[in-house]
A and B are shown apart, each in its own frame.
Chain A
Amino acid sequence: MRLVRVAASQRFFVVLVLLVALFVLFSLTQERFFTSANIEALLTGASILWVVSIGLTFVMVIGGFDLSLGSMLALAGVAFAAFYNDIGVPALPAILLTLALGALLGGVVNGMLIGRLGLSFLVVTLGTLILFRGVVNLWSDTKTDQVLSSLLDGLAFDKLVGLPVPVWIMLATFLVALHVQRSTYFGRDIYAVGGGQDAARLSGIRVGRTIIAVYAIAGMLAAFGGVLQVARIGAASPLVGDAIIFDAAAAVMLGGTSFAGGIGGVGGTAIGVLFFAVLQNGLSVSGVESFWQQIITGAILIAAVALDRMQRDGSISFRRLRRTRAET
């Protein structure tokens, strides 16, 4: 009961209920849905969106947005191929180099321009969205570069203790992010800056540095998504990632993190991403055409946010469950 109360007090409660309902519905109606092979495919397919969305969550909690993450993802793939194929860096150092590049571009370019110069995050990340995409096309000559690496194959397709490696990666990313969010002063700073930048600055929090760190984390996680993408398709393609930012934004918002900043978190984002994964997988298992999936996904996103708004206005209420607000 306590667990239900805790869940009910969260902003992602509505989506959590929808997720469970959807899962039960597909399990009962589609016999090909609730099989271990399908659930593994469902989770593995969501892993890239998962890591990108977690990075975007921090950016949105701090009151910003990062449009450039899709381009960053593609850029990371091309960079990894360059390190690994052209320069001959071994796979593991090449991955680390790629992650560092993502953190650097996110922190130094996006973060500095937004956090130090105070430019609008929409302008800056729209600029880098285009700019990074240009670099990708120039660097790759718009050609897909095949990548043959046993380490990468392992990342995408191996199993560890009965679970696919991507699922372990998702779990690890999530737990680290949750730890940073809940159990460090940095995590608090993110909420303080997002909820009241002036009050945070007056309290002695380094606002600019916090913003830079958050965009660096988002850039690094997008680069990680780029590496996972290369691993999945066995090649670095300049075409990947051009729409992932919309899916990620939808998942983050479904999870209760708002554009206004200061509220939400990675817990909700995990549920948002899972919701999308279950919805899309379930619909395609049911044989629903993929365009219908888009229509349903879009409608549900708007409905979930509207429901959350009405609930907080008091138009509808889950008060009996919420009466005791759990200690966090």
Chain B
Amino acid sequence: MPEAVAEIDGTRTDAPVLSARDLRKRYAGVHALRGADLTLYGGEIHGLCGENGSGKSTLLKILSAQIAADEGHIALGGSEARFADPTEALAAGIATVTQETTLVGELSVAENIFLGHRKARSRRGIDWRATRRRAAEVLARLDLELDVTAPVGRLRPNEQQMVEIARAISTDARVLILDEPTSSLTDEEVERTFRVMRVLKEHGVATVFVSHRMNEIFEIVDRVTVLRDGCVVGCGPIADYTRDRLIHQMIGRELEELSLHAGGGGAHDAILRVRGVSVPGKVDDVALEVGRGEVVGLAGLLGAGRSDLLDALFGLRPDAEGDVELAGRPVGMRDPRHAMRSGIAYVPADRKRMGLVLDMSVRENLLMAQTAPLPRLRRPQRSFEQSAVDDAVSRFGIVTASGATPVVRLSGGNQQKVVLAKWLATEPQVLLLDEPTRGVDVGAKAEIYRLLTAAKDAGVGILVSSSETPELLLLCDRIVVMYRGRAVARLSRREASEGLIARYAMGHL
């Protein structure tokens, strides 16, 4: 471990509300948590920081009893706590609000707040008047003014979140876990969420707050715990932290030298020119260029608008606006067929739903895009198809029993190679890729990198979006960092580093 062991935080002398010690969890041999501690005091907002895959989610799921730890102890209010399921954890006072909504859109605010608990009853059934009154009381505790009779589906996203929080505290929770509550909110809505969090703090609730945005952490949090690779690498009052120190602890390693590919660099004549592209609510006025034989990376957090931008460029977002030029000719963002004709290919993130037809054969999937422009009543030429399949299988190193094997039987890496081969067969001028190595093992990863490099050497302009910064640093000539729909930084290969990208991606400009 390069970092000093977690500092002991001696600033609080009162008894903690919750204390978790030495939590360990393994998934199929992989350590998700290797001895993590977390201490929460009443009336504090505790930031939990760490990169994707650092073990945050696992830790939070153990606390809320969605999964069981392999080892470790949790004490709640001083006594050992063992919960069989989330309902028991909730009854004991640990409430969770996640990003996914668990509200029922057609039911009213009041009904949602008491969903799953007993509503007030009278002799004739549910006492609706009393239920509404009690719901209003819960909302009043949070200083919220919402119509308790309004259907939740009509509320704005942040108001729905308030209802979730209200439901969580309606059970008199002592610990409230907020897992990325602000990721889809506007600045103004974030402020309202913070106001509710401060009210809860006054009521003595211990809140765990997860956010990838640095400025939010520094605005609202009292203390932080930093996780990396399943271990706690730092803990203490936020006053002891600077942004750089926090990011450094999260990323860990002093930015090691990565072995970058040679070549690239220099001036490229732009093949893809994107100007002022917007998708309402997702992408905000993005401009970028990709040169012939250049690899440009899109970095940013989940929800920063990377996928939406790629979708828009391939014509999947009819509400997109802006100008796209390919080799000097304007391309309307109309539909995928049009984008293909213009010379764009797209390897989407959701391989199983968007990339492949799983029940169809390797052959049919490989040829699907290439043969789409042909007359539909034509007969597929068996000899041509067989040689195309043989060629792709050998060139891309696809491991399959035969061309007739349903693609669903292939491993993730081989499936991804089929998607890549399918699109390169259309001889595109620009290749868009979204998370090209997601769910792919290490060997196949290296092979996909090799194939992309080969395509780049053949003069294809490549725009690749990835959550894995090391992957971008390895592949790209330039990296564009997106933050909440905007392209906030453009970094050359020499300038780019994990730390710098992380800073921009978290909105710390």
* Interface residues, chain A, with chain B CB atoms under 8 Å away: 183-186, 188-189, 191-192, 195-196, 198-206, 262-263, 325, 327-328
Contacts and interface: CB of A to CB of B under 8 A. Distances in A.
Interface stretch (B212-220, B320-328, B377-385): B377-385
A202 B353 CA distance: 10
A185 B374 contact: yes
A204 B359 contact: no
6 contacts: A185-B376, A186-B377, A191-B360, A196-B358, A203-B336, A203-B368
Nearest to B348: A202
B102 interface: no
Contact of A206 (B337, B402, B405): B337
B364 A199 contact: no
A188 B374 CA distance: 12
B314 interface: yes
Contacts of B402: 327
Nearest to A189: B376
Interface string B352-373: 0111111111001000110111
Given A203-B422, A205-B368, A185 B380 contact: yes
A184 B377 contact: yes
A206 B379 CA distance: 18
Nearest to B377: A184
B354 A198 contact: yes
A202 B404 contact: no
A325 B401 CA distance: 10
A325 B348 CA distance: 31
Interface in B333-349: 335-337, 340, 346, 348
B206 to A, nearest CB: 43
Contact of B373 (A183, A186, A196, A204): A204
Given A186-B377, A263-B359, 13 more contacts: A183-B380, A185-B374, A188-B368, A189-B376, A191-B357, A191-B364, A195-B360, A196-B358, A199-B356, A202-B346, A204-B372, A204-B373, A262-B357
B364 A188 contact: yes
Contacts of B335: 201
B358 A195 contact: yes
Contacts of B374: 185
B256 to A, nearest CB: 37
Contacts of A199: 353-357, 368
A183 B378 CA distance: 8
Nearest to B351: A199
B443 interface: no
Interface centre among A186, A204, A327 (most CB of B within 10 A): A204
B125 interface: no
A201 B318 CA distance: 14
B404 A205 contact: no
Closest 5 pairs (CB-CB, A-B): A204-B372, A196-B357, A186-B376, A195-B357, A203-B368
A196 B377 contact: no
Interface string B148-189: 000000000000000000000000000000000000000000
A184 B357 contact: no
B378 A185 contact: yes
B263 interface: no
B375 interface: yes
Contacts of B359: 191, 195-196, 262-263
B430 to A, nearest CB: 15
Contacts of A327: 402, 404
Nearest to A327: B404
A189 B374 CA distance: 12
A270 to B, nearest CB: 21
Interface of B: 314, 316, 335-337, 340, 346, 348, 353-361, 364, 368-369, 371-380, 402, 404-405, 422
Contacts of A198: 353-354
Given A191-B357, A195-B358, A203-B369, A185 B314 contact: no
Contacts of A205: 368, 372
A279 to B, nearest CB: 30
Contacts of A188: 360, 364, 368, 380
A264 to B, nearest CB: 10
B477 to A, nearest CB: 26
Contact of B357 (A185, A200, A325): A200
B99 to A, nearest CB: 23
Contacts of B340: 204
Given A183-B379, A183-B380, A204-B340, A192 B364 contact: yes
A203 B402 CA distance: 22
Nearest to A213: B376
A64 B346 CA distance: 28
Contacts of A204: 336-337, 340, 369, 372-373
Contacts of B316: 202
Given A195-B359, A203-B372, A205-B368, A184 B348 contact: no
Contacts of B336: 201-204
Contacts of B348: 202
A183 B354 CA distance: 25
Given A203-B368, A204-B372, A196 B356 contact: yes
Contacts of B380: 183-185, 188
Nearest to B355: A199
Nearest to A186: B376
B416 to A, nearest CB: 13
Given A202-B314, A204-B373, A184 B379 contact: yes
A185 B375 contact: yes
Contacts of B353: 196, 198-199
A326 to B, nearest CB: 8
Contacts of A201: 335-336
A183 B356 CA distance: 21
Contacts of A192: 357, 360, 364, 368
A201 to B, nearest CB: 6
Contacts of A184: 376-380
A201 B360 CA distance: 15
A327 B378 CA distance: 21
A289 B354 CA distance: 52
Nearest to A199: B357
Nearest to A196: B357
A186 B377 CA distance: 6
Nearest to A204: B372
Nearest to B350: A198
A202 B369 CA distance: 8
Contacts of B346: 202
Contacts of A191: 357, 359-360, 364
A205 B373 CA distance: 8
A192 B360 CA distance: 7
A201 B369 CA distance: 10
A90 B290 CA distance: 65
Interface centre among A184, A200, A203 (most CB of B within 10 A): A203
B462 to A, nearest CB: 18
A204 B368 CA distance: 8
B404 A200 contact: no
Interface centre among B353, B368, B369 (most CB of A within 10 A): B368
A217 B180 CA distance: 51
